[in-house]
Amino acid sequence: MDSAESVTGPVEHKRLAVILSVDAAGYSARSEQDEAAAVRVVQALARQVEDAALAHGGRVFNSAGDGFMLEFPTVSGALAAARAIVQGSPTPVRVGAHLGEATVTPTGDLLGHGVNVAARLQALARPGSVLVSDAVRRAVTRADGERFRPQGRVRLDKMSRSVEVFTLDIEGAKSGIRRRRPWLAPALAALGALAVAGAGLAAWRMGQPRELRVAVEPIVPQGKDAAAAALVDGLAEKISAGLADHGTAVVPAQAAASSDRAGARLIVGGEARRAGDTLTVDIRLEDRRGKLLLWSSHFEQPMAEAAALDDRVTAKVVDVVSFAADAMRYPSVRSDSRTLSVLLKLADLRRDSRLHMDQLLELDRQMAQLAPGVSEVHAALAVDLASLMGGRPPAIAKAMTLELQRESAEARRLDPHNSDAYASLYVLFPPHDYAQRAALLAKGMAADPQGSGVNAGMADFLRELGRNREAEPFYRRAQALDPLSPPKAATLVFALAGTGRAEESWGIAQRALAQFPTVSSVRKGYAYTAALYQPPDVALQAIDRIDRLGGTLGNGGAQAWRDYVNGARRGHVDPAAIGRFREAALKGVADPSNAAPGLAMAGDVDGAFAVYNKALDEDRATYPSELFEDAAAPMRSDPRFEALVKRLGILDYWKSSRVPPDFCREPNPAPICKTLPAKS
């Protein structure tokens, strides 16, 4: 019998323990996109956490949703388990570790200060890292060989004393207090840049946190419209959950409704109304200190699709507000309303499909003046300079190149682990120079292997070389690290559709379009994958829907793709319809990167090569990754394919790297595979 248990029944007692708090990063946002997939990931994580605990002498004493609490009798066992969990997890996790006193309940649960500290450290940790208290670090002997990186002192939520914290070095992987990396500007994708089609918003390292607390008020329906009220019921709770999941300090709902709002400085509120068949939601963000309106946004959705409006509003508000709240935690960023206003404009513009890049660049420069000591500010400016260089007069382009190099160097000086500072240099290399691009990616991955942008860039690079199997884990990790990113969802749609996962791809495309109906990359992923891989009637409905939204398919593009579906996807080929589609593609009306595989699948291999080569002759944007989709298989069996990939610079890189594309590992490999070296 335990010495602390009497004959009359169990009683609570205290003991010293090492507590690990484990949380799946971005779970709330992922569950909104695909609840079944999110549940499967958490189930796999639960098994992995349980195995790690048992293997190192610990136990799981509490779990709730995507969070787990573990107890260990030794620090070495706890750190070994933490390392195993981070390295083996099916999704990025945050881990907090503390050595302290805990109270044992009759059920075996642990409560008390030690447990609370571990949980709060976990909330501060960035995805893929282990944040530990000084008590843990001091308990490790030199013989244990553990390495820690100091992160300064932090004041934990609802605790009066500050705590010195460290990150556990996990095989050289960068870790630290939680931050999110910038999204690269959309123009970088067209230039073949790192991190596809606009990679995400800037986010910031937490040095010594200055909490910028946020209160989310209920979204109020105007008038007595019961339908509108029902549709926005719970929207405030979803926004609060999304902000909390991104590490923003959110006051509880009951406190948000009180007069002082529990000390919150930023107040999110809004109204909903119905006008005919359209539901409208207006959101505002106010600075309570200065009683100023800092930011507002307007959302509309047909009543028949109003359920998707919650996702759109939540994604936008979480993006913008968490961006500002994270930035204001950085000690060198001033907390005045002007700085906040610039931050919020930056956050809003980076998601805007009508992005005015010169305006964005000016805001970047303003931020560089307001926060000159912040690495991410300089990296964001460098990235946007890179996206604006194309098509400029030589003298202006040269000046912009020098400014880009200067800002990238400053970002790396302030933070050598800033992978986006490397990303900004990507545009300086020719698209066909795969060796230089590979070297730059390697530096970015070494700087921050858990950066969302660098994972997306690595995925795009591998897919461009036909190495789709290797690319997929990087795509999935990038989206898990930045689940509110429309471009990352769009690229995952393309990657899965072209490699035999048409149904999974279509599900992601439908959810992404409902959440981000104005984002061009999402619209293209929805339309093109439907046209190539979905049943004809579904494909035509998708093309019509994107055509009604306008702009994305261009003048005449929608009709060209209708011709394609009617000419190639009905079980028989209509040569006249396919001929019209080919002519539209040759004129640039239909996107050549997607049109060429479509023509090949329809049996017009001559047309496929003509369309792709003409686009290269005219220096139009092409995406070589589409040549390695299932639809393009007839092109790969043609002798002309070798000349095409040589022209793109891919053939030489296959030979020099000695890593063949996936299609060379199939039972009946394409003829070009005979000329390539075996995998090294």
Report the C-alpha gap between 268 and 263 in whole angstroms. Answer: 14
Band of the pLDDT at 679, cuts 50, 70, 90?
Answer: low
Nearest to 569 by CA among 609, 542, 606: 542
Q: What was the pLDDT predicted at 214?
A: 86
* More confident call, 402 vs 366: 402
| Spatial contact of 680 and 658, defined as CB atoms under 8 Å apart | yes
CA 190 centroid distance within chain: 19
Q: Tokens representing 394?
A: 């030589």
* More confident call, 642 vs 340: 642
What string of DSSP letters covers 289-301?
TTTEEEEEEEEEE
Q: Give the DSSP H/E element, type plus range, for residue 426.
A: none
Q: What was the pLDDT predicted at 330?
A: 61
DSSP one-letter code for 664: G
| Spatial contact of 453 and 199, defined as CB atoms under 8 Å apart | yes
Q: What was the pLDDT predicted at 186?
A: 31
| Side-chain half-sphere CA neighbours of 460 within 13 A | 31
| Spatial contact of 505 and 496, defined as CB atoms under 8 Å apart | yes
Q: Residue holding tokens 């209509």?
A: 574
Q: Tokens representing 147?
A: 């390495």
Q: pLDDT tens across 171-222, in order?
A: 644 444 443 333 333 323 322 322 222 232 333 222 333 457 888 888 888 8
| Spatial contact of 590 and 559, defined as CB atoms under 8 Å apart | no
Q: What pairs with residue 267 in β-bridges? A: 215, 286
Q: By percentage, how much of the chain surpasses pLDDT 90?
A: 27
Axis-axis angle for helices 575-586, 605-617 (nearest 10): 10
Q: pLDDT tens across 10-59, in order?
A: 445 788 899 999 988 766 666 656 677 778 888 889 889 999 999 999 99
CA 477 centroid distance within chain: 8
| Side-chain half-sphere CA neighbours of 465 within 13 A | 30
Report the C-alpha gap between 99 and 72 in whole angstroms. Answer: 9
Q: Which residues contact 274 (CB under 8 A, 6 or more apart)?
A: 225, 227, 228, 280, 303
Q: pLDDT tens across 583-597, in order?
A: 999 998 999 999 999
Residue 307's identity, in one-letter code, is A
CA 275 centroid distance within chain: 34
CA 666 centroid distance within chain: 32
What string of DSSP letters covers 63-77?
EETTEEEEEESSHHH
Report the C-alpha gap between 630 and 611 in whole angstroms. Answer: 18
Helices (H) and strands (E) counted in the chain, each on its own, are 29, 12
Q: Which residues contact 619 (CB under 8 A, 6 or more apart)?
A: none
Nearest to 89 by CA among 165, 27, 153, 161: 27
| Side-chain half-sphere CA neighbours of 510 within 13 A | 14
Q: What was the pLDDT predicted at 20?
A: 96
Q: Where are the alpha helices (DSSP H) in 9-112?
A: 27-33, 35-55, 75-88
From residue 677, alpha-carbon distances to 218, 625, 648, 673 in Å are: 63, 21, 19, 8
pTM of the full structure = 0.64
pLDDT(647) > 50: yes
DSSP-based three-state secondary structure for 199 = coil
What string of DSSP letters covers 447-499?
H-TT-HHHHHHHHHHHHHTT-HHHHHHHHHHHHHHSTT-HHHHHHHHHHHHTT
